[in-house]
Amino acid sequence: MEDFCRKEGIDYEICGKVIVAISEAELPALETIYQRGRTNGVSCEMINSEKLHELEPHVAGIKAVHVPEAGIVDYGQVCKRFAKHLQNNEDNQIHCSTKVIGIRHSERIVVETEQGEFEGRFLVNCAGLYSDKITAMTQPPESKIIPFRGEYYEVRPEKHYLCRNLIYPVPDPNFPFLGVHFTRMINGSLECGPNAVLAFAREGYTRSTVNFLELAEVLSYPGFIKLAAKYWRAGAGEMWRSFSKVAFVRALQRLIPEISADDLETAPAGIRAQAVLSNGELVDDFLIQANKNIINVCNAPSPAATSSLNIGKHIVDIVAERF
């Protein structure tokens, strides 16, 4: 991705990140992250609080993992450049606002959309929040997408000095989410978040967006019922942080004690398409379900944007092998 951005003149910056342990209790999990990073060839260093304060003077923390190779990018520009490269070949077409509503398949595949039909030999489904719905058009999906909204705040410019780059807490290994963190964006803004609350619609980007059919499907899914029974306490905490800015700020203050509610303005939310198995297990890795001439990308969680070129290569390899 870094090579791609450099070649294409896309705005990016390798600014580094710190993953910060606040208490002794978090040190074993921090050590695991550090060892996993090293095993995977990530350049990272375990640093003490002195070095941490040199990098991020306003952070509370007793130890941290510093990842100097981590970076930020204008991902909108990346997507536009992907599209441009595709369109450079006149055989390729991109149809936006073209909802897939059905699929007929035998030797050839016919994709029915609201804008007419498209026919081809192979199909790759990477429909994110609706990837399970598209999968179900040709085979039973192994998992169901549960939408979790991640809400953010933007830090007012006068307080940008509180965070130089990227500051993360030690994540709870029971959840695939990273916990609220501080992210300096490539446009100079500073965001903090996200929490993780059940969205009442797959595209429920605000608290008031409700799709009763989609919500009923989630609430009656055995996997969700098992998940909710196990994690209701953590889920309730996240819901509380969604409604109470004070509670959200308290989570942020663990990392930067000086931050206050007055420093924050509500920012747009994102929705995580989280695949959940019927036994209640959260799928925390990539999940690809392929049949004869169809490849369904059923779970592509973060960092699927960062690793999109590699995931693309992986999918091309599967296509090449099968066809």
Ligand X SMILES: Cc1cc2nc3c(=O)[nH]c(=O)nc-3n(C[C@H](O)[C@H](O)[C@H](O)COP(=O)(O)OP(=O)(O)OC[C@H]3O[C@@H](n4cnc5c(N)ncnc54)[C@H](O)[C@@H]3O)c2cc1C
Interface ranges with ligand X (CB under 6 A): 99-100, 126-130, 134, 150, 194, 270-273, 297, 300-306
Helix (H/G/I), strand (E/B), else coil: 72: strand
- Output the CA angle 134-138-143, nearest 5 degrees: 60
- Output the CA angle 175-151-180, nearest 5 degrees: 50
C-beta of 49 vs 307, nearer to ligand X: 307
Q: What gap in Å lies between CA 35 and CA 32, rounded to an integer? A: 5
CB of 289 to ligand X, least distance (A): 13
CB of 62 to ligand X, least distance (A): 26
Per-residue CA distances from 189 to 42, 63, 72, 154, 205 (Å): 27, 27, 12, 7, 21
CB of 176 to ligand X, least distance (A): 11
C-beta of 47 vs 70, nearer to ligand X: 70
C-beta of 134 vs 259, nearer to ligand X: 134
Residue 99 burial class via C-beta count within 10 angstroms: exposed 0-12, middle 13-18, buried 19 and up: exposed
C-beta of 171 vs 301, nearer to ligand X: 301
Residue nearest ligand X, Cβ-based: 128
CB of 93 to ligand X, least distance (A): 14
What phi and psi values does residue 128 have, to the nearest 5 degrees? 55, -115
- Do 173 and 29 form a contact (C-beta atoms < 8 A)? yes
C-beta of 30 vs 129, nearer to ligand X: 129
CB of 25 to ligand X, least distance (A): 26
CB of 4 to ligand X, least distance (A): 14
- Do 180 and 195 form a contact (C-beta atoms < 8 A)? yes
The four Cα atoms 201, 206, 207, 211 give a dihedral, to 10 degrees, of -20
Name the β-bridge partners of 184: 190
C-beta of 31 vs 112, nearer to ligand X: 112
